[in-house]
Copies of this chain bind each other. A is one copy, B any other.
Amino acid sequence: MTTSPTRMDAPTRREQILKEAARLFAERGFHGVGVDEIGAAVGISGPGLYRHFPGKDAMLAELLVGISERLLAGGRLRVAESDGDPAALLGALVDGHIDFALDDRPLITLHDRELDRLKDEDRKRVRQLQRQYVELWVEAVRALHPAADEPEARAAVHAVFGLLNSTPHLRTPLARPALEHLLRNLAHGALASLAR
């Protein structure tokens, strides 16, 4: 661990690289982007990246592991804050996921698109983090809708992720608050259908 991810000073070169790499990978796919391009995006050229990362794979790995960890950490925080109120928890999970999806659209895209390009070890780690995050949601959903059995709740959670993660593909004139509001309503509308 070099520096904390939450600061307000200028972004380090490393962070610039990660940010631009995320954007480019999301736009044209991992294999569709060359290291020279990533370098150019931060003002250095090609092999200069190797002063900061052992390879192209490592950038993707760090991005995907990072997203998954932040999602899970955020989810756990909300569980802890919810004090056992299922409705409040699910609301907080939805809001948190929306914030994340709208803040980091490129990362969301990468998250379900480029997982297979990782080395076995990294892929396992990301999958494990994703699984735990889903688990959080499944438990929250089932607490609120006991009528739904486990596989049903799990599929519904995946579907709601698909709904919320649709925003990167979208070029809409809607202002951010309106979009947040809309997504929240859609998500809760979908989940409400589990009540029977």
Contacts and interface: CB of A to CB of B under 8 A. Distances in A.
State which size class the interface on A falls in. 35 or more
A152 interface: yes
Contact of A151 (B29, B31, B174, B191): B174
A12 interface: no
A193 to B, nearest CB: 3
SS of A interface (majority):
helix
A70 interface: no
A183 interface: yes
B170 A155 contact: yes
Interface stretch (A14-22, A48-56, A77-85, A110-118): A110-118
A155 B179 contact: yes
A30 B114 CA distance: 12
A134 B192 CA distance: 25
B116 A186 contact: no
A174 B152 contact: yes
Contacts of A29: 29-31, 113-114, 116-117
B172 A154 contact: yes
Interface string A79-115: 0000000000000000000000000000000001110
Interface of A: 27-32, 112-114, 116-117, 151-152, 154-156, 158-167, 169-170, 172-174, 178-179, 182-183, 185-194
